[in-house]
């Protein structure tokens, strides 16, 4: 007699890439309190990783350098996203997640949003949901404004609260991400803009579709991150981060991502980015400094 073969369900893996806002215009504040945005969003090679062992109850374990800064509890965006999807998909099979947390937390890189999006993609795979199932998008938006963009994971123009996404073809850049270790809560930065609900401030300049690298860089230089002035007021160390990035060879654009406090610079290629990162890390050993690709 032979026992029936019942293999353990395979562990599924997803990358959770850092999100970088190359531009971020705050166009106004809606009556629901959220701000209307227009932002060119790119994704980095650097990021977290999430695994799912399908089957059983919902759970989350944390590993990696950022594991000590977070709890794998109901507040974790991985668990929140899974619950949002379970509320929309009757009988959704769940499982135990393991998060390799490498990105700094509350850093403007959308790390939590990337993890939540990776959780939704893993659950979609485990439950044979189509990638374009609208319940995935709905669960993403219910989890956070950045999660829909992270769910798709490709460069885009993000508008509205974060729900209107237009794919963009961007050239690939080398990049360095620098976080000085100061957590800046997103809500505090938006609040510091002091925009009353119902306020409208105007339009963003249209993205030059298919622009060559230099033309795109010129356009990016003229379209700021409107959250940078309030974030600088909350985290004055951003001045030192900017100076360190500007002092590197070949930095094309030096800017803050999202609500901060991570700043980035763009370079022609990975080699220039790696050299710049080495220089900054040597001078500022307490900062998180990551060379990567962006596109
Ligand atoms: C700054 C960005 O990272 C740019 O990509 C996002 O707009 C923020 O995305 P997120 O962290 O997923 O934001 P949520 O978790 O939805 O909201 C966090 C806080 O930011 C405020 N918030 C967020 C997005 C938005 N368009 N307007 C806002 O005013 C919300 O009122 C909330 O108090
Ligand atoms: N898996 C997670 N990773 C990071 N933060 C998480 C996670 N789950 C919950 N959080 C909480 O979410 C908040 C935002 O964290 P996150 O790292 O996504 O911020 P952020 O990079 O500033 O996001 P954004 O760029 O979307 O504003 C923090 O207060 C953190 O405690």
User: Which ipTM value was assigned to this complex?
Assistant: 0.97
Taking residue 48's Cβ as centre, other Cβ atoms within 10 Å add up to 23
Query: What are the residues facing 49 on neighbouring strands?
Result: 15, 100
Q: Closest Cα to atom 1, ligand 1: which residue?
A: 258
Retrieve residue 206's tokens: 């249209």
pLDDT of residue 203: 85
Q: Is 205 among the annotated ligand-binding positions?
A: no
In the chain, the percentage of residues whose pLDDT exceeds 70 is 97
The pLDDT mean for the chain works out to: 95
pLDDT of residue 2: 44
CA distance 278 to 180: 15
pLDDT in tens, 206-238: 999 788 899 999 999 999 999 999 999 999 999
Contacts of 33 (CB under 8 A, 6+ apart): 197
Report pLDDT for 10: 85
How far apart are the CA of 27 and the centre of ligand 1, in A? 14
**Region 142-155: what's the mean pLDDT?**
97
**Which of 5-9, 31-35, 151-155, 236-240 is least confident?**
5-9
Write the pLDDT tens digit of every residue in 155-210. 999 999 999 999 999 999 999 999 999 989 999 999 999 999 999 988 889 999 78
> Residues 141, 162: contact at Cβ < 8 Å?
yes
Strands 25-29 and 59-63, bridge-based pairing: unpaired
Q: Say if residue 137 is exposed, middle or buried (CB neighbours under 10 Å; 0-12, 13-18, 19+).
A: middle
Residue nearest to atom 4 of ligand 2 (CA): 112
The Å distance, Cα 31 to ligand 1 centre, comes to 15
- Distance between Cα 282 and ligand 1 center (Å): 33
Q: Of residues 36, 48, 146, 226, which has the active-site annotation? A: 146
Distance CA 26, CA 202 (A): 9
User: pLDDT value at position 8?
Assistant: 59
Compute the average pLDDT of residues 48-64: 96
Establish whether 227 is an annotated binding residue.
Answer: no
Q: Which residues have any ligand 1 atom within 6 Å of their CB?
A: 21, 24, 33-35, 37, 39, 110, 113, 144-146, 161-162, 186-187, 190, 258-259
165 φ/ψ angles, rounded to the nearest 5 degrees: -120, 125
Nearest to 238 by CA among 81, 18, 246: 246
Model's pTM, two decimal places?
0.96
Instruction: Give all domains of the chain, ordered by start, each with its CATH number.
Output: 12-167 (3.30.230.10), 173-294 (3.30.70.890)
Q: Which are the contacts of 92, defined by CB distance < 8 A and separation ≥ 6?
A: 85, 86, 123, 127
pLDDT tens string 104-139: 999 999 999 999 999 999 999 999 999 999 999 999
User: Is 73 a residue of the active site?
Assistant: no
Q: Is 290 a catalytic residue?
A: no
Pocket around ligand 2 at a 6 A CB cut-off: 70, 75-78, 105-113, 115, 146, 186, 258-259
Q: Whose CA is nearest to atom 14 of ligand 2?
A: 106
Q: Can you give the pLDDT at residue 1?
A: 41
- In the 3-class helix/strand/coil scheme, how is the chain assigned residue by residue? CCCCCCCCCCCEEEEEEEEEECCEEEEEECCCCCEEEEEEEEEEEEEEEEEEEECCCCEEEEECCCHHHCCCCCCCHHHHHHHHHHCCCCCCCCEEEEEECCCCCCCCCCHHHHHHHHHHHHHHHHCCCCCCCHHHHHHHHHHCCCHHHHHHCCCEEEEECCCEEEECCCCCEEEEEEECCCCCCHHHHHHHCCCCCCCECCCCCCCCCCCCHHHHHHHHHHCCECCHHHHHHHCCCHHHHHHHHHCCCCCCEEEECCCCCCEEEEECCHHHHHHHHHHHHHHCCCCEEEEEEEC
User: What integer pLDDT is reported at residue 3 of this predicted model?
Assistant: 46
Residue 6: pLDDT over 70: no
Distance 37 CA to ligand 1 centre (A): 10
**Which of 19, 36, 115, 290 does the annotation list as catalytic?**
19
């Amino acid at each position: 007699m032979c026992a029936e073969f019942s293999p353990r369900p395979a562990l599924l893996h997803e990358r959770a890439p850092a999100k970088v806002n190359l531009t971020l215009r705050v166009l106004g504040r809606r009556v629901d309190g959220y701000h209307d945005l227009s932002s060119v969003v790119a994704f980095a090679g650097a990021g977290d990783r999430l695994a799912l062992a399908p089957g059983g109850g919902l759970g989350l374990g944390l590993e990696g350098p950022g594991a000590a800064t977070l709890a794998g509890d109901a507040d974790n965006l991985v668990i929140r996203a899974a619950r949002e999807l379970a509320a929309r998909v009757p009988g959704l099979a769940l499982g135990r997640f393991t998060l390799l947390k490498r990105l700094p937390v509350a850093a403007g890189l959308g790390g939590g949003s990337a993890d939540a999006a990776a959780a939704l993609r893993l659950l979609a795979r485990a439950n044979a949901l189509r990638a374009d199932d609208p319940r995935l998008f709905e669960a993403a938006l219910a989890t956070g404004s950045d999660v829909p963009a992270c769910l798709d994971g490709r460069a885009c123009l993000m508008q509205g609260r974060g729900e209107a996404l237009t794919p963009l073809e961007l050239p690939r850049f080398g990049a360095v991400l620098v976080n000085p270790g100061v957590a800046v809560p997103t809500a505090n930065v938006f609040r510091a803009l002091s925009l009353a609900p119902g306020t409208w401030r105007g339009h963003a300049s249209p993205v030059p579709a298919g622009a060559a690298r230099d033309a795109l860089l010129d356009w990016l230089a003229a379209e700021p991150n409107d959250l940078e002035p309030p974030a600088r007021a909350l985290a004055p160390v951003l001045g030192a981060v900017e100076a360190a990035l500007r002092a590197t060879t070949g930095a094309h654009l030096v800017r803050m991502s999202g609500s901060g406090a991570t700043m980035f610079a763009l370079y022609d290629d990975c080699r220039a980015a790696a050299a710049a990162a080495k220089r900054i890390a040597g001078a500022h050993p307490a900062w998180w400094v990551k060379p990567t690709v962006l596109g």
